[in-house]
Amino acid sequence: MTNRTGLFRNYIKCTVAAAVVWLAAGLAPANAEMAPRDGWVVLPTPHAYLDMTQRIADATKRHKVGVVGAASATIGAERALNKKIPGNMVMGIYHPRFAIRMLAASIPAGIEAPIRVYITENQNGTATVSYKKPSFVFAPYMDEGGDDLKALAAELDTVFDALVKDAISR
């Protein structure tokens, strides 16, 4: 096992553990439906939840980025508590070519990477895909990051818009 593989497995274990704590604290949502909010893109889809998670993963390859991490309270609840909750998964999506530019513009902005895409299961079994626009995510760092970070955020807005629309439309 490579060191990166071990780190990823530890990451998954930690995210499952966090999901268990979240659920044990009674914080599970009564309704998994997502509502529009400032700075977010919220797109209901005609696709089933599990299908949509795969569609997003497949679209990352077509758009030359990658899923660098994933977390799901749904999986954690089922494995650790034998409890079923509506489907939800957070996928962290990024690529080193963006990370290098982001960090050159603003080291503190690095805490915001990867950009997260949230896939939630609706009551009717379809999925909604939501994410914070990268320009919104990086907004607190714009004074420090200047034009370079602003340009990167705008580029990432375009990448994520295309990626998600591609995943939904295929």
May I ask the CATH class of domain 3-169?
A: alpha beta
Tell me what the mean pLDDT of segment 10-34 comes to.
46
Q: Quick check: helix, strand or coil at residue 117?
A: strand
Tell me what the mean pLDDT of segment 116-120 comes to.
98
Give the whole-number percent of the chain exceeding pLDDT 90.
78
Over the chain, what is the mean pLDDT?
87
pLDDT higher than 60, residue 9: no
pLDDT higher than 90, residue 162: yes
Position 43 scores a pLDDT of: 97
Q: What is the pLDDT of residues 60-74, one digit of tens each?
A: 999 999 999 999 999
pLDDT higher than 50, residue 15: no
Q: pTM for the complete prediction?
A: 0.81
Tell me what the mean pLDDT of segment 20-44 comes to.
66
Query: Which burial class, exposed, middle or buried, applies to 4 when counting CB atoms under 10 A from its CB (0-12, 13-18, 19+)?
Result: exposed
Tell me what the mean pLDDT of segment 11-21 comes to.
44
Query: How far apart are the C-alpha atoms of 105 and 63, rounded to whole Å?
Result: 23
Please give the backbone phi and psi of residue 90, each rounded to the nearest 5 degrees, phi first. Answer: -105, 125
Position 36 scores a pLDDT of: 87
Q: H or E element: which one contains 118?
A: strand 115-121
DSSP 3-state percent helix, strand, coil across the chain (nearest 5): 55, 20, 25
Tell me what the mean pLDDT of segment 126-145 comes to.
98
Amino acid at 136: F
pLDDT higher than 50, residue 1: no
Position 24 scores a pLDDT of: 40
